[in-house]
Amino acid sequence: VNENAIETQTIAYITKETTLGQKSIITLPDGSTVKLNSGSKITFPEKFSDSIRDISLEGEAFFEVVKNEHKPFVITSNKLTTTVLGTTFNVEAYTDKTDVKVTLATGKVSIYAEGEKAILIPSEQIVFNKEDKKIIKKKVDVQRYLEWKDGILRFENATLEKAVDKIEKWYNVTIEFENKNLSKCTFTGVFKNERLQTILEHLVFVKQNVKYEFVSERKIIIRGRCTN
């Protein structure tokens, strides 16, 4: 048997993708698991090589990586590379966002992007700005960045602009403001596996001059004004 011929066979890659409004759990060839958030895509080889476990990500995912000290687990996402041996962490790397965020729950990860390097320990997060190519590291409440995988949507004094961005991905809808000033209005609420209407009803309850209307099954208009 020609072993070299076997080694040079073309590696088949698998791509798993979630549409807006959808989430999924994927098991990788090494037994590691990935929870893929809405509007995200992950690509990985059908079989990992003997030296590396390499995958690429667009969007957001939570990883539970099986420990293997001899075979690093490497994620490429928007010019940022995350390398681990075995750990649990979250990567948020949507192509339409300026920032890429890596948040560590357990273990240790190393980050490399555009010549910048960082090591993360639990309860730390790095934010890589794709425009200025800088990495910023900070302490965070990790659970706030992992709640999405358990069906929790949290808004803490978030502008409606940012809240709507999350809601659109989460429920696969389009939301428009009749009055652009509404987008700067702030909104607080925590929702677990709630229907979209529940969130909208909460919004109009706490912002009494704000109303919403479904103009079609997937399109909502928010009207009114906001005093805070």
pLDDT (tens digit per residue) in 147-158: 999 999 999 999
3-state secondary structure string across 82-114? EEECCCEEEEEECCCCCEEEEEEEECCEEEEEC
Q: Extract the tokens encoding 8.
A: 């040079």
Q: Extract the tokens encoding 94.
A: 């949507």
Which phi and psi (to 5°) does residue 204 adopt?
A: -75, -20
Mean pLDDT of the chain: 91
pLDDT at 208: 84
List C-alpha distances in Å: 210 to 104, 153, 187, 194, 205: 38, 20, 12, 20, 8
Q: Extract the tokens encoding 26.
A: 């994927």
Handedness of CA 213, 163, 79, 29 (dihedral sign): negative
Query: Please, are residues 101 and 124 in contact by the beta-carbon 8 Å criterion?
Result: no
Please write the tens of the pLDDT for every residue from 65-83.
999 989 999 999 988 999 9
